[in-house]
Homo-oligomer: A and B are copies of this chain.
Amino acid sequence: MIRRGFQVAARLGHHGALPGGPYILPRFSPASAFGSSMDSLVSRFCQEKTDLKNYTLPNASWCPDMLNLYHEFLEKTKADGWIRLPSFKSNRNHIQGLKLPLALTVTSDKSDCRIFTRCIETEGQGYEYVIFFHSSKKKSVCLFQPGPYLEGPPRVRFAHGGSLAAMIDETFSKTVYLAGEGLFTLNLSIRFKNLIRVGSLAVLNIDVEKIEDQKLYISCVAQSVDQQTVYAKASGTFLQLQLEEDSSQY
């Protein structure tokens, strides 16, 4: 999150709060930053992981709308430039595909951490989602089906607004990282329009609007599959960070 992300790393390094230190702080080098091609970022992020559960595969809890649209986009991945992003229990499972500084890693940590949007493992109860990314168009589509553990208003089976906010933030994060090494959320703004029924599909259409002054500006429209109901409109700003390890330091 934002420019103070480095301050966070610095504080952790200074206080030795993370096990396995000392840590080398990331060096921000605007001259050489953002040099990775999008293809390189995508290929590293999406590498095969045969030994880990990929949560983007369909399961019995998916509603027909979600299944149909999933297969529609899966077809597009064959020729149309769309990529299905893998999703594991923790972001750390993408670690070989992500560029991260050692200051931001805990290599000895074996604890059971989970990325927030995969915090509930029981199929259909929490987050069911899959993100498709189009590199040349700099856009994503997230198919999101909230389960009954994401409840908001009581007894009505509508999802909590915060669960949609988190889904938008997560989809923004993955999109801006792959589209331009965006890493830390600066701002997130959401206008809620309608409630999403638990068990139904919301389609999040995400577009990177521009990349300027080391910031990525991104937008989202979340709507029903028939596009007749807008659930929310959102915008976000992310900071670009060049986080490739500098091998000369080790």
Chain B residues near A135: list those with CB within 8 A.
Answer: none
Copies in the assembly, this chain: 2
Q: Separation in Å of the A49 CB from the closest CB of chain B?
A: 14
Chain B residues near A93: list those with CB within 8 A.
Answer: 154
A101 and B100 CA atoms in complex are apart in Å by 51
Known: A148-B111, A149-B114, A162-B169. A187 touches B192 (CB 8 A): yes
The residue on B at minimum CB distance from A169 is B162
The residue on B at minimum CB distance from A19 is B157
Interface residues of A (CB under 8 A from B): 1-2, 4-5, 7-8, 17-18, 90-95, 98, 100, 104-107, 109, 111-117, 119-120, 125-126, 148-163, 165-170, 173, 184-195, 197-198
Known: A149-B113, A160-B117. A186 touches B191 (CB 8 A): yes
Chain B residues near A105: list those with CB within 8 A.
Answer: 154-156
Chain B residues near A173: list those with CB within 8 A.
Answer: 152, 161
Contact between chains at A116 and B1 (CB < 8 Å) = no
Chain B residues near A189: list those with CB within 8 A.
Answer: 187-190
A133 and B238 CA atoms in complex are apart in Å by 33
Known: A116-B152, A195-B5. A170 touches B162 (CB 8 A): yes
A18 and B155 CA atoms in complex are apart in Å by 10
Contact between chains at A109 and B160 (CB < 8 Å) = no
A208 and B151 CA atoms in complex are apart in Å by 24
Q: Separation in Å of the A200 CB from the closest CB of chain B?
A: 10
Q: Separation in Å of the A124 CB from the closest CB of chain B?
A: 11
A97 and B7 CA atoms in complex are apart in Å by 45
Known interface pairs A165-B169, A188-B189; 10 further A-B residue pairs with C-beta atoms within 8 A, sorted by A's residue number = A91-B155, A104-B155, A115-B151, A115-B160, A116-B162, A116-B163, A161-B169, A162-B166, A162-B167, A188-B190
Q: Of B112, B192, B197, which is within 8 A of A148 by CB? A: B112
A165 and B156 CA atoms in complex are apart in Å by 22
The residue on B at minimum CB distance from A184 is B192
Contact between chains at A188 and B159 (CB < 8 Å) = no
Chain B residues near A107: list those with CB within 8 A.
Answer: 155
